[in-house]
Amino acid sequence: MMPVQACCICGKAFTGHGNDPTPVVNDPGARCCDDCNSRVVLPMRLERLRERNKTQREGSNGGALQ
């Protein structure tokens, strides 16, 4: 039987292993529910990736379009 855990973002109870909430919550033992993972965590990861890629592109050619 899977243990019941509380989501570290919304507090809802969930069963199973949960999801890594980084970068929203930076606690190695924290877990979040599937809803928060898809609605909060993944969008933040994608936004950070877009920002990082934008910064790398601007830094590589002085911000000029290729």
Give me the DSSP letters along 31-52: -B-HHHIIIIIHHHHHHHHHHH
pTM: 0.80
* 40 part of a folded domain: yes
**pLDDT tens digit sequence for 15-51:** 999 999 999 999 999 999 999 999 999 999 999 999 9
* 10 part of a folded domain: yes
Range of the domain at 45: 4-59
Residue 25's contacts (CB-CB under 8 Å, 6 or more residues apart) are 8, 9, 32
- Name the band, by pLDDT with cuts 50, 70 and 90, for residue 57: confident
Q: What residues pair up with 15 in beta bridges, in sequence order?
A: 4
Long-range CB contacts (within 8 A, 24+) of 46-55: 48/23
Count of domains observed in the chain: 1
* 65 part of a folded domain: no
